[in-house]
Structure 1
Amino acid sequence: MYGLIVAATTALFFVSYFIIMPVVNYFRDPKGLRRYPNFNAIAGISDLGFMYEAQKGFRSSKLNELHKKYPVVRIGPNSLSYGSPHAIKDIYGHGSPCTKDIFYEALAGTHFHLADVVDKPEHARKRKVLSSAYALKNLEGWEHKVSDKTERFIKGCDSHCTAPPSKEYPRPDEKDLTFDYRAWTNFFTLDAIADIGLSERLGFLDQGHDLVRAESMDGKLHYVNYRECLHATARAQSGIVWAYDWYKFNEKLTRILPTHFRGLWKLNEGWNDIVYHRATQRLKRYQAGEKLDDFFQALMEDKNGSPNNLEWGEIVAEVSIMMNAGSDTTAIAMNNVMFWLLKNPTCLARLRAEVDSVLEPDEVVAPYDKVKHLPYLRACLDESMRITPPTTFGLPRRTPPQGTSISGDFVPGSTSVSISAYVAHRDESVFPNAEKYIPERWLQPDSKDLQPYFIAFSAGARGCIGRNISYLEQTVLLSSVVHRYEFSLPYPEWEPERWESMNLSPGPMPLKVWRREPGGERGEDDKVGI
């Protein structure tokens, strides 16, 4: 009898807490959010509605369809998504009273890093420490590292070159689809950020894979695949984080349940070990007296050589976000721009003509000074990040306790608000023919008017601190490869698989690659170093 009473009481608690109370709160509607249409049938009642959409793989696509009808969509009991890019300033702008949402606190480890710290004074302190490392003046110091990675990328590309396609059979043979541009651009950004940030050579471009040494907290060394661990972490977190108060519990639960999450969390442990090994090895070099011009040095000392006295946990957290955000989003952008250029041959031809006009025929790596101001090159990059922004989900913000006005509409305090870049970049009033890849839109007399609505790097005081590095890497690599090679997709209608976690990650992109001459084709024997 006692067991039945306990079971009944437990069942009543769960039914009351997870069903009755949410339904009652939905109809009580203390914040007046019921006036907004819901993302799905239960989104206004429970965060499970958004979590369900997250598991389907591309929630921003559905959100975009809803925002064609509704300017505001309720995506959770306490969360609103905005569709108009005119709300960007109110949510993300420098004068916005909104702060980072508790979403970031839920995901934070023992120490906050620059991307997840919520407290504004604490963010200002962190940004001051890191600004010297990411400053525009450091481009010259970064360029030789980016050039080195570009040369290694090209050697890898050379090794995968095939003969030019015949005019009779222009569609590439499957055996000639030897170069996975998605993987190799990720090898590039991983090698680059490790060198820029930690003065470490991972060697992924040289070895053609991302097997890397990792170290557990007890000092045990082992090998894991960098990309697999990184992407698994993002998938696991993005599936369950939306119920903020329950995230830690749900993480523990999904670690033991026999579902795909258990495998993802196992790979997450590999990611933690990757970061820990990188940080500890770099610390040893610092303690040995090496003075290196990198991100880690800026964490340890200010520009005058005075110690910053950061806690070790904070340093590891900053290394983690650098190795994550500093590599993945740029690799996605690099992959996407090549995809869009191959889908739009006239755009590729115009870009190639622009690049060829400033580079010598035998130049292998494009000098940044020669290509950094090429208008069509920058337009191609920005248009790719507009139509397929690497980070698609709405970066959530929290309204102040007293509430605030967003797009002329008062939103009560402590409400999560966001705009998806994928949605904002498809607003036809700002970006006509939004579903088409049109780099020329960025070259019109009024193109500067588009910039406030371009949020591939977010906006305001919390905008991406690493955008200068990203543009440097994208600019040098793209100009170098379009100058040297021809590429072909598997077939004209080919589309990559895409999965949205925090970023919109494309799957493999196998390409046929062959050498070219400006205005013609190059022979297979003309390779780097030959």
Structure 2
Amino acid sequence: MFAGVGYPAASVLLGLFLLVIVIRRRYLSPIADIPGPFFASFSVLWQLWAIVKGDIQLRSIELHRKHGHFVRIGHEEVSVCHPDAVRKILLTPLRKADWYKVMALPDHRFQTPMSEVDPKRRVERAKNVAAGYALSHIIKSEPFIDSAISLLCNRLAELGQSKQPVEFDKWFNYMAFDVIGEVTFSRAFGFLESGRDVGGSIANTRVLTLYVTLAGFFLNLHNWTMGNPILSKLGLMPQQHIFDTTLGAIQTRQKNPDVRNDMLSLWMQQLKEYPDRFKEQDMYGVVNATVGAGADTISATLQAFVYYMLRSPGCISRLRKEIDAAGTESGKPVSYAIARQLPYLQACLKETWRFHTPVAFGLARIVPEQGLTIGDRYFKSGTKLSVNQWVIHRSTELFGADADTFNPDRWLGEKGQAIEQYYIPFGAGYNSCPGRNLANLEVSKAAATLVRDFDVRQVDPKQNWQYEAHFTAVPYGWPCYIKRREFTTEQTL
């Protein structure tokens, strides 16, 4: 209460203050003429509510179809779906929105390329860890990725034999976590072996995803509370399970006599050779990000692949013929050397990533000092422009009248080459996802192996999945029956 001012008067003053803010933001902003939800015109309330409800990507698609290329989704943020959006916003090295700073886990001391908002510094941070994400390095772990895929297949076959429904949201997450363990720490976490959510990591990750997505809008509050280093040291922050998992894996790895030349080995070598530019906390931050972000995105993609293929029986038959004709060995995971060369498989996977991009949230950048023009619209310095991958990928202007249809054939031939410039499941430009090589390898191998070796049907074919789309669009809730395929002599080697 102000000195000498009663509660009623103070309430009136506060109300007037808020009204002035609302009027200024809604009617006097340089982006006031851009259409969008009412609450978005003076606050971030629309985004927060859409995130909590878990359908922000679908709402964003609807808004763009209603209003066109530009939609105001915050008092200082515009969502852009324009043919020039990818080139001028993502491929141009613009500063990222401060929201990304929340991606430093467990707190601001643990910086990563993802949490860095300055383009030049982000590139420098990425150089420190690039070797670990390179395909030439990841491919060396293929035998161990094969072990995880084989164990997944054994577990699925056991469930099939016992006629128990399979919950793919669990099992694909188990595999993804174990693969990350193998590639990063030379040791699986044990999800597939135990058949359970070890340490509640999956459940905790989904809670953390919602928290981080919301906390990015309130960075100061986050830094003083859950992102406070003091709470990190006391083990009280919501990110604790990731940090504990990472710390435990590193400690176990240090005792492992069979350590391979894994990701962590390369990053520890960087730590020794370049201590001035790559510090221990940076290394921990990158490992935390790899473990925290890798599993859900892989699981979401594989679930989407199975789900949409089940609804496209012609696609399954055609894909099986391609895989069977490739001369793969039944009972062993399909090699990446073969999987990457199967055009229809890769078209099906591309269409899966287009149709159900794991990241549901817009990728926001800041207009530079000189301003930015997209189409016939000029944006002043400081405006946030975001590109939502779901919106781009479902654009009928960019992907044709059948953009809402799952159609792998769109990626074959000249048409596929023409739309490649708008294909951004891993982002684009300097801030594209560093884990895309691992994702492509893991998903290609697992998808090809599952299609070749198993018959799958939903318990209730009419049941649509549910999914939460806070930052990552994670499907769940559509159990299936599964059984191994019976191969003829001609189909096996």
Instruction: Please indicate, yes or no, whether the TM-score normalized by the shorter chain is above 0.5.
Output: yes
Deviation at 1:82, TM superposition (A): 0.9
Kindly tell me: are residues 361 and 43 of structure 1, through their superposed partners in 2, closer, same or farther at Cα, counting changes over 3 Å? same
Whole-angstrom CA distance in 1 between matches of 2:328 and 2:25: 68
Query: Over residues 79-111 of structure 1, what are the superposed CA-to-partner deviations in whole Å (9 max), with x where a residue is unaligned?
Result: 000123431111001xx1521111112453223
Aligned to 2:53: 56
Whole-angstrom CA distance in 1 between matches of 2:333 and 2:384: 45
TM-score (norm 1): 0.83
SS of equivalent to 2:71: strand
User: Quick check: 1:299–1:315 contact (8 Å CA) kept in 2?
Assistant: yes
User: Quick check: 1:103–1:244 contact (8 Å CA) kept in 2?
Assistant: yes
Identity of aligned residues (%): 22
Is 1:389 matched with 2:360?
no
Is 1:505 matched with 2:474?
yes
Is 1:91 matched with 2:89?
yes
TM-score (norm 2): 0.89
Is 1:197 matched with 2:184?
yes
Deviation at 1:342, TM superposition (A): 0.7
Kindly tell me: are residues 482 and 141 of structure 1, through their superposed partners in 2, closer, same or farther at Cα, counting changes over 3 Å? same
Aligned to 1:241: 216
User: Quick check: 1:403–1:413 contact (8 Å CA) kept in 2?
Assistant: yes
Kindly tell me: are residues 370 and 50 of structure 1, through their superposed partners in 2, closer, same or farther at Cα, counting changes over 3 Å? closer
Kindly tell me: are residues 179 and 2 of structure 1, through their superposed partners in 2, closer, same or farther at Cα, counting changes over 3 Å? closer
Is 1:207 matched with 2:194?
yes
Whole-angstrom CA distance in 1 between matches of 2:397 and 2:292: 34
Kindly tell me: are residues 229 and 392 of structure 1, through their superposed partners in 2, closer, same or farther at Cα, counting changes over 3 Å? same
Instruction: Give the number of the structure whose residues are more often helix, by fraction.
Output: 2
Give the aligned CA root-mean-square deviation in angstroms: 2.9
Question: What is the one-letter code of the residue matched to 1:126?
Answer: R
Aligned to 2:431: 462
Whole-angstrom CA distance in 2 between matches of 1:521 and 1:206: 33
Is 1:232 matched with 2:211?
no
Query: Over residues 420-440 of structure 1, what are the superposed CA-to-partner deviations in whole Å (9 max), with x where a residue is unaligned?
Result: 111101111222211111111
Whole-angstrom CA distance in 2 between matches of 1:319 and 1:27: 45
49-58 or 412-421: which moved more?
A: 49-58
Match runs of 1:484-495 below 5 Å = 484-495=453-464
User: Quick check: 1:162–1:512 contact (8 Å CA) kept in 2?
Assistant: no
78-87 or 413-422: which moved more?
A: 78-87
Deviation at 1:204, TM superposition (A): 0.7
Is 1:185 matched with 2:183?
no
Query: Over residues 468-526 of structure 1, what are the superposed CA-to-partner deviations in whole Å (9 max), with x where a residue is unaligned?
Result: 1111101111111111110001233221101111111111331101121246999xxxx
Aligned to 1:528: none
SS of equivalent to 2:39: coil
Aligned to 2:73: 75
Deviation at 1:6, TM superposition (A): 6.9
Match runs of 1:116-127 below 5 Å = 116-127=115-126
Deviation at 1:247, TM superposition (A): 4.9
Q: 1:423 aligns with which of 391, 402, 426?
A: 391
Kindly tell me: are residues 54 and 6 of structure 1, through their superposed partners in 2, closer, same or farther at Cα, counting changes over 3 Å? farther
Aligned residues: 479
Deviation at 1:459, TM superposition (A): 0.6
Is 1:105 matched with 2:101?
yes
376-385 or 56-65: which moved more?
A: 56-65
Kindly tell me: are residues 403 and 420 of structure 1, through their superposed partners in 2, closer, same or farther at Cα, counting changes over 3 Å? same
Deviation at 1:343, TM superposition (A): 1.0
User: Quick check: 1:228–1:267 contact (8 Å CA) kept in 2?
Assistant: no
Is 1:321 matched with 2:289?
yes
Question: What is the one-letter code of the residue matched to 2:314?
Answer: T
User: Quick check: 1:91–1:406 contact (8 Å CA) kept in 2?
Assistant: no
Whole-angstrom CA distance in 2 between matches of 1:14 and 1:142: 60
Unaligned runs of 5+ in 2: 228-235
Question: What is the one-letter code of the residue matched to 2:89?
Answer: I
